[in-house]
Structure 1
């Protein structure tokens, strides 16, 4: 099945380069483009892509606000919302943290190898998180220095009490960065079962994705 991608960047040359790279990959296809965040929200609603590759710094509506609007305003009926893969130059950490809270599923540096971009699109399309290693390092360092600063929006106390013991185990492994396959191997489950339990954890905790789940697990002391 082809993964349908929407490109969002205010620079036409960057969009053209990304389109050229993505369209040459088997199973990936660029279905549309937008030059700013407002256009991204409109085009995502019209095209219903699987993944939105989103720039951060754009005139008008930036990538963080576009991510928030896109995911918060997605209609409950019909297909699920697209996964958002944010492209960043990494000199704006506050945007990375804000986009996490907005529901972005992945972050990649603009100077990353081409193969890493392809991998990131496939990973987030599959419902998992993708963070560039340096982003992960900086994020966890900042999280450790300022507990709670980058956690998902606050919810009721004792949120983890909603989970079964097995779901807590799954959440802890998600927070350590393991994929569904790795979690399945660690717990002696099938990958399909793990995927189902991860989705149930996200639903019960009112979270948008695995990145928010990982941050909440750290915030609650599970990891």
Structure 2
């Protein structure tokens, strides 16, 4: 049996911490090993307990979640890898998303996410993948779409080839780029969630990217593939 993902919960609201602790503790695949009520405590708990993932609130006293994230990842004192940081917030605002990602967080999920979505994001981070809520993915794609195109690669083989994708993988990535979750994509295409996840993982491997957001950005930047409410291949 796979060991549970070890998690520290950092949130300044005691009721939120207790609710998250109770919810996650009912799962055999997640183990809550500590809590913190402010950013400074989050840093201390991360260093002392060495969790796999820190579930980090954005707005906290003493030190914000973004500042705590930068401290944990920038000043990690142990030879073992630093924990992955999953930002948890009620605010779906660009300034928080961008600041958290710049600080080194690899996940960003809203507090209204379901237990399954939260647990899934925790496991994604523990496995080394990024995890962003669909609305965050959609807004990041839209932001990048307004930027000027990057210069062409020095060699043709430096450029991940969209042509390597299967029609289904392209279709799924187009829907990812619109901000749909795996469940929504599965319903749209009439397939299982596991099938959608497999298509995304295979596509990321073909494109040599580490997460679905990078894959979505590649699709959004390819003129021959339209990104709107309907997926076309």
TM-score, with length taken from structure 2: 0.67
Q: 2:64 aligns with which of 62, 65, 75?
A: 62
SS in 2 for 1:4: strand
Aligned-residue offset at 1:39: 1.0
Residue 115 of structure 1 is matched in structure 2 by 116
- The answer on whether the counterparts of 2:141 and 2:217 sit within 8 Å (CA) in structure 1 is no
Q: Residues 186 and 212 from structure 1, CA distance in 2 versus in 1: closer, same or farther, beyond 3 angstroms? A: closer
Residue 135 of structure 1 corresponds to: 136
* 1:68-79 equivalent positions in 2, closer than 5 A: 68-75=70-77, 77-79=78-80
Q: Is the 8 A contact 1:36 1:59 kept in 2?
A: yes
- Structure 2: stretches of 5+ with no match in the other structure: 166-172, 178-195, 224-233
Higher Cα Rg, which structure: 2
Q: Distance in 1 between the 2:7 and 2:27 partners? A: 12
Deviation of the 1:140 alpha carbon: 1.9
| 1:41 aligned partner | 43
Q: CA RMSD in A?
A: 3.7
Q: Distance in 2 between matches of 1:167 and 1:30?
A: 41
Following the alignment from structure 1 to structure 2, what is the Cα–Cα distance between the partners of residues 39 and 164? 48
Q: 1:99 to 1:215 in 2, by over 3 A?
A: farther
Listed as ranges, the gaps of 5+ residues in structure 1 are: 149-156, 188-193, 202-208
Indicate the residue corresponding to 2:93 in structure 1: 92
> Is the 1:54–1:63 contact (alpha carbons within 8 Å) kept by the matching residues of 2?
yes
Q: CA deviation at 1:180?
A: 8.9
Separation in 2, partners of 1:137, 1:17? 28
User: In the alignment, is the contact (CA less than 8 A) between 2:84 and 2:106 conserved in 1?
Assistant: yes
Are the equivalent residues in 2 in contact too, given 1:105–1:211 (CA < 8 A)? no
